[in-house]
Amino acid sequence: MSQASLEAEKNTVPEPIINEDHCKGCGRCIAACPRKVLRFKSTLNLRSVRPAEYIGTGCIGCNFCFYNCPEPFAIEVYGAAKKGS
C-alpha cells in the first residue's frame, strides 16, 4: 500500500453501513456496540422487522457489529480494518 493510501485510510472516519432489507432485526449488533451508536429504526423493512440504524456519530470502527451479525450482507463498517487484512 502506498504512503498516500495509508494516509487516506488513517483519515477515514469509521461508519457502519446497514443494508436494511438484509437485516432481520435481531439486535445483536446493537447489543455488541461498545459505543451504543446503533439502535432499531422506527420503520419496518421489507422483512417487516425494524432494522438496525446508525445514530450518525460516535463509531470507532471496532467492527464488533459486523462480527456479531448473522446475516452476511446486512452490515459492514467503512473505514475500519478487517480481520486478516
Asked if 59 is part of the footprint of ligand SF4 (rule: CB under 6 A), the reply reads yes
Q: Which is nearer to ligand SF4, 7 or 19 (CB)?
A: 19
Set of cell numbers at residue 9: 485510510
The full length of the chain comes to: 85
Which one among 10, 24, 48, 56 touches ligand SF4, defined by CB under 6 A?
24
Residue 62 CA, chain-centre distance (Å), reads: 9
64 contacts ligand SF4 (rule: CB under 6 A) = yes
**Which residue in the set 6, 8, 44, 60 belongs to the binding site for ligand SF4 (CB under 6 A)?**
60
The answer to whether 55 and 38 are in contact (CB under 8 A) is yes
Q: Cα torsion for 47, 49, 55, 56, to the nearest 10°?
A: 10
Q: Does 33 bind ligand SF4 (CB under 6 A)?
A: yes
Whose grid coordinates read 425494524?
50
> What residues line the site for ligand SF4 (CB under 6 A)?
14, 16, 18, 23-29, 32-33, 35, 37-38, 51-52, 59-65, 68-69, 71, 74-75, 77, 80
